[in-house]
Structure 1
Amino acid sequence: MDFAALTEGVVALPPAALYLVGTFVFLLAVAALRVISNQLNAKAPPVFEGVPFLGGILKFVQGPMKLMAEGYARHGEVFTVPVLHKNITFLLGPCVSAHFFKANDEEMSQKEVYEFNVPTFGKGVVFDVDHKVRAEQFRFFAEALKTAKLKLYVPHFVSEAEAYFAKWGDAGEVDLSKAFAELIILTASRTLMGREVRENMFTQVAELFHDLDAGMLPVSVLFPYLPIPQHRRRDRAREELSRIFSKVIRARRASGAREDDILQCFIDSRYEKVYGGRALTDDEITGLLIATLFAGQHTSSITSAWTGYFMIANKATAWAAAEAEQRRVLAERGPAIDIDALGEMDALQRNITEALRLFPPLIMLLRQANAAFSVETSAGRRHVVPKGHIVFASPAFSHRLPAVFPQPDAFEPERFAPPREEDKVAPFSFIGFGGGRHGCMGSNFAYLQIKTIWSLLLRNFEFELVDPFPEADYDSLVVGPKPCRVRYHRRALHAQGI
């Protein structure tokens, strides 16, 4: 071997350049050794099971929050619970969640873990299609939720809420959860399903959606086609909704009429990268409407209720700040509630966000790992999550970690304001609307809807708790407050300027 030829270019370099090259090569070697060492030292997540074969099932039966608390106390941020033929790995906290939120659908897939929604949403949409088609359909959602569209929806939020609260007396008692569930389906009916449904078919469509909702049970996650009465009513409701919306869609297309609602956005949408650029079928539109309603109805009504309960329980701070903000907005802009006025309500938005931090409606987010990946805990332990594991991230648990949010059980909306901004200290600290590639596209829609509701209530009513502050109902798939009454008093007309 001619070593002179190999070193010819090197010996011609000046000493300073040789030093820089040598340093660079040394750093590369150190980095490579570190990667190899980490790979060799990485281990599969610790197993949290207890009784072999049955322990994982028993732990899930006791409830996910208790399971996560015990698993975290024993193993930290990463652990695996075997359940039947599946391995479920928990990633708790922002330190270990980056890959969960940032990976693409081919690496971390939603489809396999959310297929139980197919009987409800229908074939050919969302979780019944591959990731390329689903990306196109998510683009339709995004187009329908752009700022220019949201601006058109706000007047409908206002008119529906004003009409609903006009039916309240001068004083009375209500359960906020029940009241907001009724109101949100009204606003959704107008902005999502369209004027025709809201004006002519609301009762019928609302009852059909109730049957769909009642067919989403914990057993449905594992056995979505189990022949039980709730599933049979679900399937009949899905067929009838498809018939109703097909009639509405055909009528709009035939007449050329256009409306400012999400239904119109779906009618106008065209695939770009799949299906040869065709329009959506009537059944696809129906499925996307159902998916949109399911994504937002419970979450918005539940978050509206929690926001109210927390503001009423914290009159001197949270309520006072939101009320003072309404006074300022009224003085500067007058009584109109539009998208610009809502955009200035930062104190109210922080109240909503803090309520969502403490009680996110979706306590667990799921993916299937289609490729192995590694994570490193805050303590420096490395784990490789194997391919095929079901992976859970939990807003409900992660939002209560003291290392992420100091005094995590306290209601402190100002933690989201400068200079604290605790949600920005680490990526994916606040995941009330998910995050990363699958962050909720409807978050702005939800904030506008909830802020509209509470702007009207802050301006027109006083509230006090009748029952003790509610506990969370963790027996539901979507977690809301247990029943809790509040007493309201309508403000006198001259006091409505607050």
Structure 2
Amino acid sequence: MFGDLDPGVAVVAALLTGVVLLVVLRRRGPRRPPCAAGWIPWVGAGLRFGKAPLEFIEQARAQYGPIFTIFAMGNRMTFVTEEEGIDVFLKSKEVNFELAVQYPVYRTASVPKNIFLTLHEKLHMTMKGKMGTFNMYQFMGRLNEEFHEQLEDLGPHGTMDLISLVRCLLYPVTVNVLFKKGLIVSHKRKIEDFYWHFQIYDEGFEYGSQMPEWLLRNWSKSKRWLLALFEESIPDIKAYKPERDDCATLMQAVLDVVEGEADRHSVSYALLMLWASLSNAVPITFWTLVFILSHGDIHKTIVEGISSVLGGAGREKITVSEDKLKKLLLIKWCILEAIRLRAPGVITRKVVKPVKILNYTVPSGDLLMLSPFWLHRNPKYFPDPESFRPERWKEANLEKHVFLDGYMAFGGGKFQCPGRWFALLEIQICIILILYKYDCSLLDPLPKQSHLHVVGVPQPEGRCRIEYKHRHDVCQAPRGPGPSGGATPPATHLAPGLQEG
């Protein structure tokens, strides 16, 4: 065809012909969703997406409609925002959760793909059984004891950053209950190191799931420190023999599954479980307390309810039982409403076979994405979506563990978060005991959320300090949020932020 042409011209002509054929074939092929691709090869829209991903997702939805693709850093991410797409995301056999997350799991915890795919469903079933609603009674006593112990360390009064206070409570309580008391953090220096390294690991988790470790030196160092900690601790965890089999810690149950298939990866699974149990529980507790303390009427009603159910003084070591939780439903409503407003940015599946959604075909290889953050702002499901309205949860059948329609905070489909009932219980007990023991008030306004990440519950942007004082020393009603300013919070041993070098 090009035999009589100059060789250079022939090459150019052949390339142009190939491009034309590619365009024609694409037009004749299945219709793909509209795509925000950018103009830089491979990078695509990555620069704009990375600056403010949640805002970029909403802008793309407004521009392209209910289904659209964002091409960034070599990945095609197709977002669905309405019922048909959500139904495919949750129920289709052509999309897969495990294949979507196995690469991030390898990067963040060094679990090889074949090991992850072999063990994931078995481990999910183990954790789902261990932390099912029918087993929550096993955690009640331990959680009460641990929170009382940690609250004693706060002293009778103080001022500190609220997110730091929550970490000081939830880090040791969660580790002691789910792993084994005192085994992971046994003395002050190690506790401080643990707080420091886990905070760096947690804050850099999303970057670590996508980028080479040599670009994230501090994060990589903290990851190795945590893996070494578990390398040292796991033999003792395995050796611990509870009196009753059903009293084994969750970590022991996980190790029983892992050691049968891939014993040398036990430390990696311990790190994954640590991250899963703390990464969202801490910010959810923070946001719930901030919303409660920022709404004086809700705060007052909750404190009055706690006094009615548990007694007026904050000095006694009371036990928060299942019956008492049922009488303090407003607190659970506040937690669920806080999660609604501060939901994860995205959850994902891998498209394994082309799937049709609306009038488009999503090709295999795409990551199918759903944004709980924006779904929870759909007025069809949640009227007045930007307002903190815990009373909307009256309509949910929480006795049967059914949430409101459109609520996707814990994922959906086959692999919902197996620890969701434990997390809700832990946060309820934590908040009840804080407000039972202390009169609390905010010294700073309600902070904005950080828009830098799309994985997990967002962290606050900027500080938010709390002043607390034993309730038996206080003769006044709960106060609302105070003006910005106030006493300087004490220095903490928590990492001030992620600084990669």
2:277 is aligned, of 296, 305, 325, to: 296
1:337 aligns with 2:320: yes
2:251 is aligned, of 250, 263, 268, to: 263
Contact kept in structure 1, 2:437 and 2:471, CA below 8 Å: yes
Alpha carbons of structure 1 residues 41 and 85: separation in structure 2 relative to 1, 3 Å: closer
Runs of 4+ that moved beyond 6 A: 255-258, 423-426, 493-496
1:96 aligns with 2:75: no
2:128 is aligned, of 128, 139, 142, to: 142
1:368 aligns with 2:350: yes
Quick one: distance in 2 between partners of 1:42 and 1:313?
A: 51
Q: TM-score, normalised by structure 2?
A: 0.77
Structure 2 counterpart of 1:393, one-letter code = L
Deviation at 1:74, TM superposition (A): 0.9
Aligned residue for 1:88, secondary structure, equals strand
1:221 aligns with 2:209: yes
Counterpart of 2:329 in structure 1 is: 346
> 5 Å matches for 1:202-221?
204=190, 207=193, 210-211=196-197, 214-215=200-201, 216-221=204-209
Deviation at 1:330, TM superposition (A): 2.6
Counterpart of 1:311 in structure 2 is: 292
1:83 aligns with 2:72: yes
Quick one: distance in 2 between partners of 1:340 and 1:420?
A: 17
Aligned residue for 1:111, secondary structure, equals helix
Alpha carbons of structure 1 residues 288 and 147: separation in structure 2 relative to 1, 3 Å: farther
Moved more, 159-168 or 110-119: 110-119
Aligned residue for 1:45, secondary structure, equals coil
Aligned residue for 1:222, secondary structure, equals coil
Contact kept in structure 2, 1:245 and 1:286, CA below 8 Å: no
Which consecutive residues of structure 1, in runs of 5 or more, have no partner in the other structure? 1-39, 272-277, 377-381
1:156 is aligned, of 127, 131, 142, to: 142
Deviation at 1:211, TM superposition (A): 3.3
2:425 is aligned, of 448, 462, 470, to: 448
Moved more, 70-79 or 112-121: 112-121
Moved more, 93-102 or 456-465: 93-102
Point out the structure with max Rg over C-alpha.
1
Counterpart of 2:305 in structure 1 is: 325
Counterpart of 1:20 in structure 2 is: none
Q: TM-score, normalised by structure 1?
A: 0.77
Quick one: distance in 2 between partners of 1:289 and 1:366?
A: 23
Aligned residue for 1:387, secondary structure, equals coil
Deviation at 1:336, TM superposition (A): 2.3
1:491 aligns with 2:477: no
Deviation at 1:73, TM superposition (A): 1.2
Quick one: distance in 2 between partners of 1:319 and 1:357?
A: 19
Quick one: distance in 2 between partners of 1:323 and 1:128?
A: 51
Contact kept in structure 1, 2:442 and 2:466, CA below 8 Å: yes
Which consecutive residues of structure 2, in runs of 5 or more, have no partner in the other structure? 1-27, 479-501
Deviation at 1:184, TM superposition (A): 1.0
Deviation at 1:145, TM superposition (A): 0.9
Counterpart of 1:168 in structure 2 is: 154
Deviation at 1:236, TM superposition (A): 3.0
CA RMSD for the aligned pairs?
3.5
Q: Deviations over 1:124-150 (max 9, x none)?
A: 5xx653545311111121132134543
Contact kept in structure 1, 2:178 and 2:249, CA below 8 Å: yes
**Percent identity over the alignment?**
19
Deviation at 1:315, TM superposition (A): 1.5
Alpha carbons of structure 1 residues 487 and 270: separation in structure 2 relative to 1, 3 Å: closer
